[in-house]
Amino acid sequence: MQQDYREVVITGATGGLGSDVIAQLQRFEPASELGVSVRAPEKAEALSVAGVRVRCGDFNEPASLDHAFQGARRVLLISTRTPGNAARFREQRNAIDAAIRCGVEHIFYTSIVQRPGSVFDVAAGHHATEAYLASCGAAYTVLRNGQYIENLPTFLGQSLFAGDLALPLDGPTASVSRVDLAEGIARLLLGDAPLPESVLLTGPEAIDFAGVADIASRALRRTITRRTISSGEFSAALTERGFPPSLAQSLATGFASRAAGELAETDPALQLLLGRPLRRVADVLPELLAHATSLAPARVAS
C-alpha cells in the first residue's frame, strides 16, 4: 500500500460540481479513503474536520499537484474556468502529468457534450485535453457532462419578475440535475466494472427555453414569454449585469451550440448508473425558482 493511500482524490472540491461529488462520495466511502485538491484549503475546512484529506493543489504549480495527488488510486480532474483555451489546456495538462507521475491508476476528466468542430468557444480547450489524455498512455475516462438544470435561473434572470425571457435562438438541451450527475460520477469513481474511455451523462429529456419558460410559468403561476434576441444584444445585456465580456461572449456561443443541435442528445448511461429515474427540469426548476423569487418577494406580481 502506498503511503497515505486514498481511493479517490478530486480537484475543485469547493466548487459547485466538486462539492456535490465529494458529498456523494462521503455517502459511499469512508472519509479516510477520500482526498481533495483545492487552491484554498481554508475553504475546505469542513471536509478536513470530517476526515477527508485536504491538500493545496494549484494547476499552475505542478509540485503542489504531486503532493495533492500522492497515494491516490483514482483522480477526478474537474475542468478549470481559466479564460482562454490554451491557458486552460496547459493547466489541465499539468494535472494529467502530475497524476501520471504519482502512479494514479485511472484519470477522470469532466468535459462537455459538444464534439470537435463545435461553435462553443471554450470547446477547443476541452478537446485538446481529451486528445492529450488519449496520447499519454494513462487509463482515463472522459465524462461528457450535460448542462446543469441548476444554471437555468441565471438565464431566466429578470423574466421571473418581468415575464419577458429575452434570449438568443436555442435548441433542445438534455439538461441534467447536478446532484444526479454528481452521484453518477461518484459511482463511477468507486465502481469495479470496466470503465469506458468516454461516457455521455445527460438528463432524460431535451427541451428548449420555450419549454423552460412554460415550466417556470406554471411554477410561478404567471406568464413568462420566450422572446428571441440577437447574440449581440444578449452579450450586451449580460455585460450590463456585470458579467465579464469574455464570459458573456462564451454564453452567447453556448446558445449557438444549442441552436446547432449539439446539446440535444439524451443518453441512458446516467440513469443506469443510478438505478432510478433521473430528475427532470420540471422536478428541479420549481424549487430553484422558489428560492430565487424569495430573494425579492415584493417584485413578484400578486
Q: Structural domain boundaries of the chain?
A: 6-145
If pLDDT is split at 50, 70 and 90, which confidence band does 301 have? very low
Enumerate residues 6+ apart whose C-beta is below 8 A from 22: 10, 13, 34, 36, 47, 52
Are 29 and 60 contacting, i.e. CB atoms less than 8 angstroms apart?
A: no
112 has which bridge partners?
Answer: 145
Question: Does residue 59 sit in helix, strand or coil?
Answer: coil
Residue 268 sits at φ, ψ, to 5 deg, of: -80, 0
Quick one: CATH architecture of 6-145? 3-Layer(aba) Sandwich (3.40)
- Under the banding of pLDDT at 50, 70 and 90, the label for residue 80 is very high
Distances (CA, A) of 166 to 138, 282, 286: 45, 21, 20
Percent of the chain whose pLDDT exceeds 70: 97
Q: Is the dihedral of CA 293, 237, 79, 83 positive or negative?
A: negative
Find the helix or strand (DSSP H, E) in which 124 lies.
helix 123-135
**pTM of the full structure:** 0.95
DSSP state at residue 41:
G
105-119: pLDDT as tens digits? 999 999 999 999 999
34-48, 202-216, 236-250: the lowest-pLDDT one: 236-250
What integer pLDDT is reported at residue 88 of this predicted model? 97
Q: How far apart are CA 57 and CA 202, in angstroms?
A: 29
Q: Examine the pLDDT at 297 and tell me if it is beyond 70.
A: no
